């Protein structure tokens, strides 16, 4: 007979003996399979240490090794060859048992690209964070992998690969299959909250635009990333004292995340009084082809509003190249530089110093994951700018010491926003995810930073922050009339009643009379 606390001590000792982060991730996932209560209690007790192991950045490494290290399945694979049996597969679950689904097709996992069927690992990791941070019942959530093939040659040639060994299907087949899956989910789980996760940039935006008005759905890579970056930026603006509408924003990496962040900042500029076109004029977006300009052919529709005039670069020095980050920085003098490019070291000393020469407090967010793909390290940025830069990162970094002073480094971790959003939605049974609900979550996150020198709360505060975001989101949903559950009790009590705790339930003997 052992108490949960005694089991915790043994589990932590076993965890500590693991050779590296990947082995620690494998150990924790094995514990998840065997003792769910102990698993969540362990990582909750050591959230600062274990969050990077069970989620980013180690989750990416674990996904790359998923087929090699496979132990036990978790979640559902909806494979294209089984497209005529989707309803039959989903019928294994009762409609009232599932509140939340994380759905992926694994085309663009973190910063490591197409991981095929191995991508189920990101759906599982997201659901772990929902429970860890917001207390959503783990037995009422479902990770789903849409297996439509993979274009990753290493996986196709790997004899241990667990997925459908086939190149990704055509666009027409793909969208028809996704529609089949979504219709089946809507029919089976009409009140479910569905999160899109790590879809390719074109499909991610397309799915969100197509389905967000017909079901309660959310894309963490677009909306979640944008909300967290916006919250950090709101706090940075409090330090600089310069209104957002006066800033020039350069987004380096105009994909799903980068454009999602740009959209959030653009909307905030509109709220501050700029008209639509004037707000767009404050942005410069760069992708693999360089500065996004209007003379491109087949420009992605979500980038088009941000495209600069093709004649704008004609005024630059002839030696400057609009495909090079340094030349763009030299010519446009950005005050906010955001990296979502996964180009390691892109924000080098010359780029940072060129930017800092024209702004007193440069705001620099190298947000790419994992650590090996970050555009710059906070230590370098702080030293290069003599401590003037305001920095937030995508991966976890330690605070920086420079000339005897410590500079806090906040992590723009989506775990700061999506668990609380899900908690609020599930608590009030919201029918949609509205712009107002996202705004409420963003503002609550920004206001949750008690240390005014930090741009975002620390990971250790995740549970409190998630609960407060849940209350703000549920309150906004009720106010907008999109909540099916509008309680007589106060919203705080409603949200608290939906928080699951990792404790053992007592067993009691039943006196059943003999027949």
Which residue in the block uniquely carries the two structure tokens 């010359």?
A: 350
- CA-nearest of 123, 193, 189, 137 to 425 is 193
pLDDT tens by residue, the chain, 515 residues? 889 999 999 999 999 999 999 999 999 999 999 999 999 999 999 999 999 999 988 998 999 999 988 888 889 999 999 999 999 999 999 888 999 999 999 999 877 889 999 999 999 999 999 999 999 999 999 999 999 999 999 999 999 999 999 999 999 999 999 999 999 999 999 999 999 999 998 899 999 999 999 999 999 999 999 999 999 999 999 999 999 999 999 999 998 899 999 999 999 999 999 999 999 999 999 999 999 999 888 888 899 999 999 889 888 888 889 999 999 999 999 999 999 999 999 999 999 999 999 999 999 999 998 788 899 999 999 999 999 999 999 988 999 999 999 999 999 999 999 999 999 999 999 999 999 999 999 999 999 998 888 999 998 899 999 999 999 999 999 999 999 988 766 999 999 999 999 999 887 777 777 76
Which residue ranges does the chain devote to CATH 3.40.50.720?
224-412
Q: Which amino acids are annotated catalytic?
A: 55, 126
CA gap 193, 215 in Å, rounded:
8
CA gap 231, 456 in Å, rounded:
7
pLDDT at residue 452, rounded to an integer: 84
CA gap 95, 101 in Å, rounded:
12
- CA-nearest of 127, 409, 367 to 230 is 367
Beta bridge partners, 147, equal: 79
How far CA 491 is from CA of 376, 440, 448, 494, 497, in Å, comes to 42, 14, 18, 5, 10
The reply to whether omega before 57 is within 30° of 0 (cis) is yes
Which residue in the block uniquely carries the two structure tokens 């790419």?
A: 368
CA gap 143, 73 in Å, rounded:
11
- CA-nearest of 340, 442, 433, 437 to 395 is 340
- CA-nearest of 368, 396, 422, 369 to 133 is 422
CA gap 484, 478 in Å, rounded:
8
Which residue ranges does the chain devote to CATH 3.40.50.10380?
4-215
**Helical H segments across 102-200, by residue range:** 120-134, 153-157, 171-188
CATH class label, 224-412: alpha beta
CA gap 292, 252 in Å, rounded:
10
- Whether 259 contacts 229, CB under 8 Å: no
pLDDT at residue 314, rounded to an integer: 86
How far CA 66 is from CA of 24, 26, 122, 217, 316, in Å, comes to 14, 10, 11, 27, 48
pLDDT at residue 396, rounded to an integer: 86
76-79: strand order across its sheet: 76-79, 141-147, 100-104, 193-197, 217-219
Tokens, residue 358: 């024209």
b/e sequence 249-269, b meaning 16+ C-beta within 10 Å:
bbbbbbbbbbbbbbbbbbbbb
CA gap 417, 468 in Å, rounded:
10
The half-sphere exposure of 377 on its side-chain side, counting CA atoms within 13 A, is 9
pLDDT at residue 488, rounded to an integer: 67
CA gap 468, 465 in Å, rounded:
5
pLDDT at residue 508, rounded to an integer: 77
Largest CA distance in the chain: 96
Kindly give, in sequence order, each residue whose CB lies less than 8 Å from that of residue 307, ignoring residues fewer than 6 positions away: 285, 292, 293, 294, 296, 299
The beta strand positions in 296-385, using DSSP E, are 336-339, 363-366
DSSP count for the chain of H helices, then E strands: 20, 14
* CATH number, domain 4-215: 3.40.50.10380
């Amino acid at each position: 007979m052992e108490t949960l606390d005694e089991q915790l001590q043994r589990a932590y000792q076993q965890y500590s003996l693991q050779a590296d982060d990947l082995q620690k991730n494998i150990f924790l996932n094995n514990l998840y399979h065997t003792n769910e209560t102990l698993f969540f209690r362990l990582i909750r007790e050591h959230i600062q240490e274990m969050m990077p192991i069970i989620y980013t950045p180690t989750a990416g490494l674990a996904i790359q090794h998923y087929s090699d290290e496979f132990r036990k399945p978790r979640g559902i694979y909806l494979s294209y060859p089984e497209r005529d049996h989707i309803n039959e597969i989903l019928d294994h679950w009762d409609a009232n048992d599932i509140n939340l689904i994380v759905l992926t097709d694994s085309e663009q996992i973190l910063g490591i690209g197409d991981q095929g069927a191995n991508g189920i690992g990101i759906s599982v990791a997201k659901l772990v964070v929902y429970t860890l941070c917001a207390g959503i019942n783990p037995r009422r959530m479902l990770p789903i992998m849409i297996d439509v093939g993979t274009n990753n040659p290493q996986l196709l040639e790997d004899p241990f690969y667990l997925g459908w060994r086939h190149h990704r299907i055509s666009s027409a087949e793909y969208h028809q299959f996704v529609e089949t899956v979504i219709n089946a989910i809507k029919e089976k789980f009409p009140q479910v909250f569905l999160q899109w996760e790590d879809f390719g940039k074109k499909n991610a935006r397309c799915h969100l635009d197509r389905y967000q008005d017909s079901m309660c759905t959310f894309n963490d890579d677009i909306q979640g990333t944008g909300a967290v970056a916006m919250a950090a930026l709101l706090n940075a603006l409090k330090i600089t004292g310069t209104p957002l509408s006066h800033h020039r924003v350069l987004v380096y990496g105009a994909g799903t995340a980068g454009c999602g962040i740009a959209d959030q900042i653009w909307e905030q500029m509109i709220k501050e009084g700029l008209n639509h076109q004037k707000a767009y004029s404050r942005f410069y977006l760069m992708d693999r082809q360089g500065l996004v300009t209007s003379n491109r052919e087949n420009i992605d529709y979500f980038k088009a509003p941000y495209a600069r005039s093709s004649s704008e670069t004609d005024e630059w020095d002839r030696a400057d190249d609009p495909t090079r980050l340094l030349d763009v920085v030299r010519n446009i003098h950005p005050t906010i530089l955001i990296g979502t490019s996964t180009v390691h070291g892109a924000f080098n000393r010359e780029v940072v110093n060129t930017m800092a020469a024209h702004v007193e407090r440069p705001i620099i967010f190298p947000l790419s994951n994992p650590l090996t793909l970050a555009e710059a390290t906070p230590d370098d940025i702080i030293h290069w700018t003599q401590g003037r830069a305001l920095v937030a990162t995508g991966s976890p970094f330690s605070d920086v010491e420079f000339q005897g002073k410590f500079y806090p480094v906040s992590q723009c971790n989506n775990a700061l926003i999506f668990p609380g959003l899900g908690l609020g939605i599930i608590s009030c049974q919201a029918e949609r995810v509205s712009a107002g609900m996202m705004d409420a979550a963003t503002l609550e996150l920004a206001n949750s930073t008690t240390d005014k020198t930090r741009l975002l709360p620390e990971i250790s505060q995740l549970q409190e922050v998630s609960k407060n975001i849940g209350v703000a989101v549920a309150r906004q949903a009720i106010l907008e009339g999109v909540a099916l559950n509008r309680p007589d009790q106060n919203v705080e009590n409603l949200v608290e009643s939906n928080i699951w705790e990792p404790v053992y339930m007592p067993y009691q003997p039943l006196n059943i009379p003999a027949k």
